[in-house]
Structure formats: C-alpha cells, structure tokens
Amino acid sequence: MLDPHGRVVLISGPNRGIGLALAQNLYAKGYSLSLGGRDAASLARVAEKMDPARIHTARYDAKDWRSHKAWVDAAVERFGRIDVLINNAGISPKMTLRDADEAALDEIWAVNCKATVSMIHCALPHLEASGSGRIVNVSSLSGKRVANDNFAYSMSKFAVMSLTHAARRIAWDKGVRATAVCPAFVRTDMTAGVSNFPHEQMIDPGDLAELVSSVIALPNTASVAELLVNCRLEQML
C-alpha cells in the first residue's frame, strides 16, 4: 500500500455529501488536501479544524475552465505536487425525453462531463510526475445501467465511464491509474427527495469514502478500473 503521508489529493465539491466524507477520511489518514468549490465560506468550514500545513482551498467552478487551471496551479505552488485527483462535484437534475431541455442538458454535460475532462487535462502532468498518480471519477450505477427515465443524468455518467477508461490508457506507463466509483443510492442531501427506497438502507458516505481511500492506496500493480457499490440486490450486478 502507498504511504499517504506527503501525498496531495485534490477533491472537488468537498463541502457536503460524498465529497465531505472523502475529505474527512483522507485527512484522517494523513493526506494533504486541496479542496475546490464555489462557496469559499463552506470550504473554510471544512478546513477550519484541519492542520493549515496540510490543507488548501481554492475556487472551483465546474463551468469555468479557467478556474480549473488556476486551482491546479495554486495547489502545486502550495504543496509542490499532486498525487490524486478526485472529480466528485456533480449535479442530478430530473429530465426525461418527454421534457428534454437544451439549456439544462448543456449544464449537466458541462458539470458532470466537460469539467472532469478539463480537470484531468490540467492535473495530468503532475500526476505523471508523481509516478503513482491516481484519478478517481465519482460516477454512479446510473453509468452502468438505465433503471429509470432520468436519461440526462444517466447519459452523463455513462460518459464519465468512458472518460475514466480513456484516462487509464493515456498515462498508464507513467504510473497513473484511474478508477470510476459507481455507487447506488448514497445517504446525502442529493438523495433526500428519493421516496422509493428507504434512506436508512442507503450507502453511508463514510463507507464509500473508506472504499475510495483503499483504492487510491493500492500500488501500481493492483489497479481497480471500476468500483461498483450497491445497497440492494439488482439482477445486472
């Protein structure tokens, strides 16, 4: 297993839900963190109980590619390296083919897909320099099967799966490993409106974070391409 001490992790959307659980878990294990989000105040609340020597915050707007490069550059200036990139930020609007809306479709594509492309592009030279760089894209089981009519979210997560495998190929020889994390329902505010499955039976975000921490600590010789995590029995899984 890789020693987390001295390794630097970038996490987008770390102020709540899965992202917050990831930040808390990885910080506790000894990683240094650079947290990216739009709300500076919420980032500050996450960071306030952490050692200033191991924490960094920056503006990250999924739809503003200039903020992506600025965040990566600032993290490298602060820590001198990047070892892990976790693309966690995402949105889940409701849209069916009967009510397709171009503007809403453009937004989900920009946030869930295009921003992930941009962040990988910006961070890749530093991940390659690490020799054991890791990319984690938070996808969904909705990127592996279609279980409802919310096609836009599912389509975006299928795209993230394709992107993750492209990332696995592009810098494998330089030690970069990429993983798509595909959870079912996770007990966060994003699933607060779900009424067809008991919230107490959903995945705890802390458990998902523990799985991710295990994956990024694996050596180059034990790479996990897709991590499928369910909270109920499904035929396809």
Q: How high is the mean pLDDT of the chain?
A: 95
Give pTM, 2 decimals.
Answer: 0.96
pLDDT one-digit tens code per residue, 87-97? 999 999 889 99
- Mean pLDDT calculated for residue range 107-134: 98
The DSSP secondary-structure symbol of 122 reads H
- Mean pLDDT calculated for residue range 126-142: 98
Residue type at 61 in one-letter notation: D
pLDDT one-digit tens code per residue, 164-207? 999 999 999 999 999 999 999 899 777 767 868 888 899 999 99
CB-based contact 72:122 (threshold 8 Å): yes
**What is the pLDDT at residue 185?**
86
CATH 1.10.3470.10 for the 8-229 domain, yes or no? no
**What is the pLDDT at residue 189?**
77
**What is the pLDDT at residue 194?**
80
Q: Is 202 left (phi over 0), alpha (psi -120 to 50) or beta?
A: beta
Catalytic residue positions, numbered: 153
Residue 66 pLDDT > 90:
yes
Q: d(Cα 111, Cα 16) in Å, to the nearest integer?
A: 17
pLDDT one-digit tens code per residue, 3-36? 999 999 999 999 999 999 999 999 999 999 999 9
pLDDT band for position 237 (cuts 50, 70, 90): low
pLDDT band for position 81 (cuts 50, 70, 90): very high
Q: d(Cα 58, Cα 54) in Å, to the nearest integer?
A: 14
* Backbone dihedral angles phi then psi of residue 212, each to the nearest 5 degrees: -60, -40
